[in-house]
């Protein structure tokens, strides 16, 4: 999956592409709580609803399609695995305005 997200002024915006097709991302986040939620809308297809929390180097949470399909997800900045040792002794950063490419695991 290719995913580009922008976090600014409490809003999440982005675009991406995966095995299903191209999609748009629209949602919001709260810096204090680390909570975020967004909708991934496949162009001409269905929507996937996400709810997650900033924890450590990424965002963990759940996704839903309607009332019948759901699962978990984890997204993190590309290159985070290589920097893991350098980050472990630091306090986790707050969710702040940012833009970047992310890796995603189902």
pTM: 0.72
pLDDT band at 79 (very low <50, low <70, confident <90, very high): low
Residue-wise pLDDT for 38-78, tens only, equals 999 998 899 999 999 988 778 889 999 988 889 988 887 77
In which residue are the tokens 């162009």 written? 43
Domain boundaries, the chain: 2-105
The dihedral region occupied by 23, where left means phi > 0, alpha psi between -120 and 50, and beta the remainder, is: beta
18: pLDDT strictly greater than 80? yes
95: pLDDT strictly greater than 90? no
Higher pLDDT, 88 or 73: 73
């Amino acid at each position: 999956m290719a995913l580009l997200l922008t976090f600014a002024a409490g809003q999440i915006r982005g675009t991406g592409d995966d095995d299903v097709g191209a999609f748009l991302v629209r949602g919001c986040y709260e810096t204090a709580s680390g909570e975020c939620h967004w909708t991934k809308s496949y162009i001409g297809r269905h929507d996937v609803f996400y709810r997650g929390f900033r924890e450590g180097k990424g965002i963990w949470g759940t996704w839903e399609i309607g009332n019948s399909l759901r699962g978990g997800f984890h997204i993190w900045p590309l290159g985070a695995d290589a920097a893991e040792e350098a980050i472990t002794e630091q306090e986790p950063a707050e969710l702040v305005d940012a833009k970047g490419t992310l890796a995603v695991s189902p």
